[in-house]
Chains A and B, each alone.
Chain A
Amino acid sequence: MAYSDKVVDHFNNPRNMGSFKKDEEGIGTGMVGAPECGDVMKLQIKVQNDTIVDAKFKTFGCGSAIASSSLATEWLKGKTIEEAQQIKNTDIVQELNLPPVKIHCSVLAEDAIKAALADYQKKAGDKTEAAT
């Protein structure tokens, strides 16, 4: 299978690869997928004043899965929580020019974004609750 130049670029030069400490202030962590399916994505966001100031990923999966999560972190940075909710897997498919058999990689990336946002919101909610 031929990969698009963008997939190759993200694969060779992954953006924002790494991890934040899960219990650090303002971190939301999303982990989706399963090893037996051949892909697991961990996506983390760092939020300050409702804005995602940083994002990191680690991915076990094929080149397209790695590229999808790398791209997701790039897109997340600078977005508000509200804006981040709007990222769709189809945007990722389009940007990376993914073939039909690789669409599940983009779906996984969208799920990872959603999971990271939910985790952040849950933690933030718990904190507000604790404060009141």
Chain B
Amino acid sequence: MKLPIFLDNHSTTPMDPHVLDAMLPYFVEKFGNAASRNHAFGWEAEEAVEQARKQIAKLINADSKEIVFTSGATESDNLAVKGVLEMYKEKGTHIITSSTEHRAVLDTAKSLEAKGLATVTYLPVDKYGMVNPDDVRSAITDKTILISVMLANNEIGTINPVQEIGKIAKAKGILFHCDATQGVGKIPVDVQAMGIDLMSFTAHKMYGPKGVGALYVRKKNPRVRLVAQMDGGGHERGMRSGTLPVPLIVGFGKACELCEQKMAAESARLTAMRNRLQAAIMEGLEESYLNGHPTNRLPGNLNISFAYVEGESLLMGMKDIALSSGSACTSATLEPSYVLRALGVGVELAHSSIRFGLGRFTTDEEIDYTIKKVIEIVTKLREMSPLYEMAKEGVDLKSVQWAAH
């Protein structure tokens, strides 16, 4: 086993070697611009792009013409929300989203609000991090033009009832955008069955290259239009200008093809591995709490809070395992995870959370090592924790007058 171990597959994934193989010819030999319509170099590039478009569309049950290439999911989210608002602002400027969305959606919404361009409803989530479709329905006004709810959460892995939300949106004639960055390639996604009108996703979360993503834009029932957010050559049906990064797109296509082939087996394997990790940790450590939905979550996701120990120190104690924490000390804002807070997880436990992200290349041996290390370091840090000592002495920590600083 090689150290360090990568258990942060929600942040990014290593590229599958087959993806790299597919990409290699498109750097030096087949370097053409896919928009060059009058010579063989361009045709070759265009053919490769169209092939990738088909592979990508097939994974989500879309038509290849509905795939708009972008630089990644952040751009796709921005393009979807801002582009739709700008196109349909005469109809209304109300947007409905949820409080646990990725920052690419939340901050886009906030920036539109701050500029006075939109009013936004941020729906609460239940204790598992799920949006209630009834809340979506009752938030709709005659000015609502867009509902944007994510498929699966990047921190806690909880999967939203997207299909039901899609139905509500359709019934009310409102466009439905779904940030499916964490879900595509991991769980079945069908834009038809789910009633999705726009969908963001990216290659590097599914064993493809960084720097390329896509926005699915529905072409019929209804035909979705949006205003491009960048001016230029009018590529991608006028929705996103800029020369297509052919090698990245080829890699994206291959990554989608591989995910489609592997999904059933991979998802079963990761679920079993994740469940084993979860059971061993939670049995080995008292007062460890699962964050997110117990069953309705991404196969490779596990998020646990360890009472009385702080997240960053946990990460520091497990230097040879790449993990992520909802602790404020690991964030630029010095605020603990807003996702965990939206679930109603106490600030203390939000500070104490660790996210485990398993992926295609995670091995059983790595899981064994992680189980051992987590139990070891949490035990060590609890010995060091005045809170643990007080709790053991029977002090109710909630009754203590803390001097907040």
Contact B384 A14, beta carbon cutoff 8 Å? yes
CB contact under 8 A between A35 and B348, given known A3-B316, A60-B309, A62-B316: yes
Decide: B405 and A38 in contact? CB cutoff 8 A.
no
Query: By the criterion CB–CB under 8 Å, are A36 and B348 in contact?
Result: yes
User: Which listed residue, B336, B346, B387, touches A60 by the CB 8 Å rule?
Assistant: B387
A127 CB to nearest chain B CB (Å):
25
Range for the number of chain A residues in contact with chain B: 20 to 34
> Does B272 sit within 8 A of A, measured CB to CB?
no
User: Contacts A34-B402, A35-B397 known; A42 to B316 CB distance under 8 Å?
Assistant: no
Residue B112 CB within 8 A of the other chain: no
Q: State which of A37, A41, A108 has its C-beta within 8 Å of the C-beta of B386.
A: A41
For the complex, is A33 an interface residue (Cβ under 8 Å from B)?
yes
Is B28 among interface residues, defined by CB-CB distance under 8 A? no
Task: Look across to chain B and name the residue whose beta carbon is closest to the beta carbon of A17.
Answer: B384
Tell whether A39 is near chain B: CB-to-CB under 8 Å.
yes
A31 close to B (CB within 8 Å) = yes
Size category of the B interface is: 20 to 34
> Which chain A residue lies CB-closest to B351?
A38
Q: B366-404 vs A: 1/0 string, CB under 8 Å?
A: 000000000000000001111111000000010000111
A26 within 8 Å of B by Cβ?
no
Docked complex: B198-237 residues within 8 A CB-CB of A: none
A55 to B327 Cα, complex, angstroms: 29
Q: How far is the CA of A13 from the CA of B312 in the complex (A)?
A: 17
Is there an interface contact between A62 and B403, defined as CB atoms closer than 8 Å? no
Let me know if B389 and A61 touch, CB within 8 A.
no
Across the A-B interface, give the 10 residue pairs with the lowest CB-CB distance, nearest first: A34-B402, A42-B386, A62-B312, A36-B347, A58-B386, A62-B329, A63-B316, A35-B348, A38-B351, A60-B385
B311-350 interface code vs A (CB 8 A; 1 in, 0 out): 0110011000000000111000010100000000011100
